[in-house]
Chain A
Amino acid sequence: MSSVLPGSQSRPARWMRGGAGVAAALALGALASTTADGLDATGRGTLVRYLGILISGALAIGTPHLLYPDPAAGRLQLSNPWAGRLLRHQIERVAPILAVLSLPALAVSWGAGQWFLGVEGALAVWTVGLYALGRYASLGLRVQAWEQNGASGRRRVLTWATTGARSPEADAFTAPSLLTTAEVFLVGSVLAILGQALGAGWGIGGPVAALGLAGVVLLRRAETYDRSFWTTNGVWADAFQSTGTEEDGREALAYDAVYWAPPALRPAVWAGLLSLDRRLPLGRLALGGLALVAIVAFAGVPEGVFAGAVLLWIAAVNGAVAFTARPALIPSALAYRLHGGAGWAAARFLMNVRWLPLLIAVLALLAWLTDVEARSILMWSLVYLATAAVSSLAVTIVERFAFRRALA
């Protein structure tokens, strides 16, 4: 929680959150450093820019889910902070994540005498993060415009291209949100390509200019940020209040579709997956991420870069299970009436495992078409299973700790 909301978190919870951030930073830094081991200056530059593209993708998809609907909306109404403080509240929420995501670039450049490369990568992450914050803040107003101002020709075409629907009025939310996702990803990709084209040293110019621009845009919006914040908060909350039902055209996950889960855990796995799919566009995230991994493989980059991309993908899809610890998805009191901690850890592990066949299929395809070695499929499967187990266990332990504290 931000400094705008005092008393919303206990000291142990703050320490735990800080500890998790430091652990994630250390893990990402070590991973990036290992990946860069043995690479020359050009290879490190390429690695930093590929990482920039991957992180841009994660920020483009993840930022709105992190910020909206704000879990503290009720408390924010009570204190009614002015527009600038609302902006500060949101920046304080994304800043720790951007700080952690900046570290891989710094770790890659560390010790290679390429400090400017690390700064370029870190600045690019902050630029894309702040750009995403600003663009998603105005999403609510854009959705309203699509909804209320009728269907212009341009909107019809964009809606059809992104959602397949014939009219923007049918679903004024999906097209603008998908376009914003694409726009944020494009900004990150352009910065990476620009950095690669300009080369080490000069490449820092792009992120510096873009960060300045993002800062100016945010400052100019600061005075009316309350309107952007509350409108987007409402639009996002409403959108996820209604998606995932048969009415919006997406079929709900059938109970029988999780036949692969043991009968004792099947209801928990089914309920968890159903809730996750309605909360997050996980399928989009998983497929988009694997498409990026494939692009990285086809680009013929050093092995370390490819390994970093696969590891990031594995961490992202397995990390999503943390959402099932949110009371809005599965309230702890209800959860522990049904299963103990071990049961939920096992159920979360099974929820994670569902993307493994997709990973194996893509790796097999890449082994056939590119230089990726076929024997690496087994190694990546084991890495995937280990990550799935660790994330399931960690999420369950943290959730139980919080639940017991609440009861104490």
Chain B
Amino acid sequence: MNVLLSAVLSLSLAPLLTVAPERRRPLVVDGVTKKYVGGPFVLRDLSHTFAPGTATGLVGPNGSGKSTLLRILSALSVPTAGRVLLGGVGGVDAHAAPHRYLASVGVVHDQPDLPGFLSAVETLEWIARERGTWNDAAPPRHEALLDAVLLDERRAQRTGTYSAGMTRKAQLAAAFVGAPSVLLLDEPFRGLDTAATEAALGLLEAFRDGGGVVVLSSHRADLLERVCDGVLNLGRSAPPEPPV
């Protein structure tokens, strides 16, 4: 992407990538425990604060609870104990007021979940209208957003016809379109080619620098290193016993 195009894109995308100062709030995980029925503890008394203007990578081996934590943060799962608060004490409780909470949150789930019979352009319009961010400036902004994730002219085709990489690009754009202050991303780079990965990294960095909270999990340690200020390690403390 050349410098001029990049500058034009970031200008038109500024409302989506910059979080207004009054909306910059920490995302607080307060003593969260998660235990599935009949299963072991996945998370135990986890407390952490994701500060505005930071990107945090969730790391740990398979089954350590990265996806479970992201599901709890996105109100798709309920903690056995503890709370998730946007804005700390007195803030919005993710599970007591999910509509208010999700209004500030953009999510990329690991599983592709887009309306298969709408195009990417129509999907963004639908989300913007539902979330009340639709206005005259929205169509060119959405075009710029789809340019930024490198979704080509097939953006006008139904998302059900997309490849895995194109679906991921559309999911990324959909996460930004509601002007969130928090982004939760589960394996956001999976399926993306090199250029699209660079573009996604650029968007996440711009959002983070614009005061947003980014929480993501990825098995690509090199990419986490580039975009994250810190990591939250959910790994088991005891290593497996060596074979005798």
- Chain A positions within 8 Å of B, measured between CB atoms, are 5-10, 72-75, 77-83, 86, 140, 144, 147-148, 171-174, 226-227, 229-231, 233-235, 237-239, 241-243, 245, 247-249, 406
One of B71, B81, B126 near A6 (C-beta < 8 A): B126
- Which residues in B have their C-beta under 8 angstroms from that of A237? 76-77
- Chain B positions within 8 Å of A, measured between CB atoms, are 36-39, 71, 74-78, 80-81, 95-99, 102-103, 105, 107, 109, 111, 113-118, 122-123, 126-127, 130-131, 158, 160, 174-175, 178
Given contacts A7-B116, A406-B160, 12 further A-B contacts (CB under 8 A): A7-B118, A75-B115, A77-B75, A78-B107, A78-B127, A79-B130, A80-B178, A81-B130, A227-B95, A229-B98, A231-B78, A234-B78
Given A226-B99, A227-B98, the answer on whether A249 and B76 have CB atoms closer than 8 Å is no
- Which residues in A have their C-beta under 8 angstroms from that of B77? 234, 237-238
3 closest Cβ pairs, A-B complex: A74-B113, A248-B38, A7-B118
Q: Is the CB of B36 within 8 A of A140?
A: no
Q: Is the CB of B78 within 8 A of A79?
A: no
- A contact face: mostly helix, strand, loop, or mixed: helix
Q: Is the CB of B107 within 8 A of A230?
A: no
What is the bound-complex CA distance between A106 and B122, given in angstroms?
42
Q: Which residue from chain B places its CB closest to the CB of A242 in the assembled complex? A: B36
Q: Is the CB of A242 within 8 A of B130?
A: no
Q: Which residue from chain B places its CB closest to the CB of A225 in the assembled complex? A: B99
- Which residues in B have their C-beta under 8 angstroms from that of A248? 37-39
Q: Is the CB of A227 within 8 A of B97?
A: yes
Q: Which residue from chain A places its CB closest to the CB of B106 in the assembled complex? A: A78
- Which residues in B have their C-beta under 8 angstroms from that of A74? 107, 109, 111, 113
- Which residues in B have their C-beta under 8 angstroms from that of A77? 74-76, 102, 105, 107
- Which residues in A have their C-beta under 8 angstroms from that of B117? 7-10
Q: Is the CB of B127 within 8 A of A147?
A: no
One of A7, A73, A231 near B123 (C-beta < 8 A): A7
CB pairs A–B below 8 angstroms (23 shown)? A5-B115, A6-B126, A7-B116, A7-B158, A8-B116, A73-B113, A77-B74, A80-B99, A83-B99, A147-B80, A173-B37, A226-B98, A231-B95, A234-B71, A234-B78, A234-B95, A235-B78, A237-B76, A238-B37, A242-B37, A243-B38, A248-B39, A406-B160
Given A7-B122, A230-B95, A247-B39, the answer on whether A144 and B78 have CB atoms closer than 8 Å is yes
- Which residues in B have their C-beta under 8 angstroms from that of A172? 37
What is the bound-complex CA distance between A82 and B132, given in angstroms?
11
Given A8-B117, A77-B107, A230-B75, the answer on whether A247 and B38 have CB atoms closer than 8 Å is yes
Shortest B45–chain A CB gap in Å is 14
- Which residues in A have their C-beta under 8 angstroms from that of B127? 78-79
One of A78, A230, A243 near B37 (C-beta < 8 A): A243
Q: Which residue from chain A places its CB closest to the CB of B38 in the assembled complex? A: A248
| B37, B80, B97, B126, most chain A CB atoms within 10 A | B37
Q: Which residue from chain A places its CB closest to the CB of B75 in the assembled complex? A: A230
Q: Is the CB of B38 within 8 A of A171?
A: yes
What is the bound-complex CA distance between A229 and B96, given in angstroms?
11
